[in-house]
A = this chain, B = another copy of it.
């Protein structure tokens, strides 16, 4: 069963749903993949899986829980022999967790075995699934990724690479994939490059990973981003690059900078920590507050708070301390205890806050419930004024590209104005970074509203692809969306 997270602030965040990794041509491929996935653990904590190939057979391990609990024993790694392996970490709260959804997914085609690890979301998955089922394909998971396998299996083309291209051409949405066949490791990104994927090198072995921090952990050298619409094919002979799709202006997910990526990663060419500090500086310029002290909501608000404090010339202090020990959700045996919930993860540093006017910096606000608890905690600790500054624009729209977002109606910014949110959260002032401020922080002059340089749909509602399943009246964001009532299977092993 999955290890839950304690109730608390992080449950009020958007969550990246996946991280992917692969290494080709290294004797320790499975151990390296476990390390790479450990470095990508912030992208998904529900489950992890690894598939390796040893020249004769594919080997598969998949487990609920974090990498550090399930892929560290020698016996597990020894069940994954071979000089090539790919892996996946997954986050999901909706729908019952099913083991058959843990990636990499695997299929035995007539031409051989094939495994795929997917970061992103296919926005026409249900439409494709319905068509495939009508033609006789059997679905074993409720994952949109399985559509890709069936499209490859039913392609009329001959060579595997052509079959993959056929399949990907059918997809709408976001997909950064790492695939493993008996002969090749393949990395590819959708034409808009919504989700990240980087190529690295470890002493001559090719590495693919969602972020550079997964290269760092194994000492691999960063080579370059896999480009939007590019397909990188790794074989013992070397690396080949194809560009089978029409070129389009890239629309990288700007929220990777705001929250998803690790601060020590370089994504899409920019250092995440630096971008976050610049976001804080922009925020100070746009929305200064009369205060004695800048305090981050740790850990996600910390780099922006440092940037804000520097730009504002205010002291930076850890006025809130985070307890990093986690575990399953604590029970709440009585109302008395239910009301203490927020302190499981965060505690106010009374000595620092008492009698102070505080600028509180957080990366984003989703439902708003956690923010109001944090503000209350800071006030209880004696702060005289609390000015909340958010390192992104209001999150007003759901994401359909591989991020776990609540329904739009649950997003506080879709229902309330900033002034109303200020009341709800009970702060002395609340300000969000502007969308242009965010674009400046990532290095653009401003947002090009005719052809935005990034995917910023969660702030603007400007979705860069068709949302086919949604248009067809089905919620593609739901894990179980593909399931006709009578075909739904739940289960545990």
Contacts and interface: CB of A to CB of B under 8 A. Distances in A.
A327 B491 contact: no
Nearest to A183: B486
A34 interface: yes
Contacts of A155: 136
B66 A489 contact: no
A27 interface: yes
A50 to B, nearest CB: 10
Given A306-B318, A344-B217, A264 B349 contact: yes
A246 interface: no
A262 B153 contact: no
Interface residues of A, number: 113
A136 B136 CA distance: 9
B331 A31 contact: yes
A351 interface: yes
A262 B349 CA distance: 10
A490 B138 CA distance: 21
A490 B325 contact: no
B491 A61 contact: yes
A274 interface: yes
Contact of A56 (B39, B137, B488): B488
A106 B489 contact: yes
A326 interface: yes
B347 A213 contact: yes
B112 A318 contact: no
Copies of this chain, whole number? 4
Interface in A281-334: 299, 302-303, 306, 310, 315-318, 321, 323-334
A150 interface: yes
A352 B277 CA distance: 11
A138 B113 contact: no
A20 interface: no
A57 to B, nearest CB: 4
A125 interface: no
**A274, A302, A337, A491 — which one has the most chain B CB atoms within 10 A of its CB?**
A491
Contact of A38 (B217, B277, B330): B330
Contacts of A136: 135-137, 150, 153-155
A263 B343 CA distance: 15
Nearest to A324: B324
A266 B182 CA distance: 50
Interface in A83-100: 99
A252 interface: no
A489 B58 contact: yes
Given A134-B110, A138-B137, A487-B112, A327 B72 contact: yes
Contacts of A245: none
21 contacts: A3-B69, A28-B334, A31-B332, A34-B330, A35-B337, A35-B340, A35-B344, A58-B488, A59-B490, A73-B328, A79-B492, A110-B130, A136-B155, A138-B149, A138-B153, A217-B343, A219-B339, A219-B343, A271-B350, A306-B316, A310-B315
Interface of A: 3, 6, 27-28, 31-32, 34-35, 38-39, 41-42, 45, 56-63, 66-70, 72-74, 77, 79, 99, 102, 106-110, 112-113, 130, 133-140, 149-150, 153-155, 182, 213, 216-219, 262-264, 266, 271, 273-274, 277, 299, 302-303, 306, 310, 315-318, 321, 323-334, 336-337, 339-340, 343-344, 347-352, 483-493
Given A62-B491, A68-B327, A107-B138, 16 more contacts: A42-B323, A57-B485, A57-B489, A59-B491, A60-B490, A61-B493, A62-B493, A72-B329, A72-B330, A109-B138, A113-B487, A135-B154, A213-B321, A218-B343, A262-B323, A306-B317
